[in-house]
Amino acid sequence: MGVLIGPNTLYYVIVRPKGKLREDFDFSDEKVRKPALLRPEMGERGTGDMATTVIAITNQKGGVGKTTFADEIAWGLERRGREVGFINLDPQGGASHEQKTVEGVDAVTVVDTPGYLNDKLGGCVEVADIAIVPVEPSQRGLRAMKRTIQLITSVSPDLEVGLIVNRYSDKRVIDRSFTDFLAADDLPILGCVPTAEAFKRGASFNRPVSEVQPGGRAADAIEGILDKVEAML
């Protein structure tokens, strides 16, 4: 793997399975240099070689909780004994985790992707093993989710995808209708997460919601999501 370190940015050369470098990336051009994702040079996922499972947390729309869930999933998998790397590609840089790379058949790399459509987002999807798409229960959220799913299927049609419905309340008819619509369309829902002040407090102190408010509805929702994520690994 290759590593390029700039004054404020950490870049990793994307390496394809079996050691093939993506030839369509022009690394001499700063505008299109692909950042911070790697696929170890030896072997593919699950072969026993030095392969890490890449989980991309992605949505073309910002403000849907993408960075929050990237942090929570990374913390949760670490808590469950996984070796976890973290790559932050969101230019807002709001993640609590530091950049970290890992290798190994049981290792997982969580990627917080950009919250808008650009060449980095497509590159993230292409090397990911799992894509997790946070979505808000609204028409705007639905449109953004559909565009994101279209991108995923166009770049990597066999990629395993899961949805997280954020800011969900089972007391709102529109929220229940939203999840019913997703289920009817055979879109896999990993979990529904309520609005919770604990997420803001956790972000302020770089702590997971399970530590800020253990046993709360938000913490329970995250644990349920982690169960399903582990089943996908």
Distance from C-alpha of 150 to C-alpha of 227, rounded to nearest angstrom: 26
Beta strands in 28-82 (DSSP E): 53-57
Name the band, by pLDDT with cuts 50, 70 and 90, for residue 172: very high
pLDDT attached to residue 173: 95
Sign of CA dihedral 163, 142, 168, 92: positive
Give the predicted TM-score (pTM) of the model. Answer: 0.79
151's tokens: 């991108």
Q: Is the pLDDT of residue 97 over 50?
A: yes
* Assigned token pair, 80: 């469950």
Confidence of residue 118 (pLDDT cuts 50, 70, 90): low
44 pLDDT above the threshold of 70? no
Q: Are strands 160-166 and 10-12 parallel, antiparallel or unpaired?
A: unpaired
Three-state SS for 214?
coil
β-pair type (130-135, 53-57): parallel
Q: What angle do CA 168, 112, 42 make, to 5 degrees?
A: 130
**What residues form DSSP beta bridges with 193?**
166
Tell me the average pLDDT across 126-150. Answer: 92
Helix, coil or strand: residue 43: coil
Q: What is the mean pLDDT of the chain?
A: 79
Residue 23 CB partners (closer than 8 Å, separation 6+): none
Share of the chain above pLDDT 70, in %: 76
Domains belonging to the chain, first-starting first, are 49-232 (3.40.50.300)
Which residue(s) pair with 84 in the sheet? 108
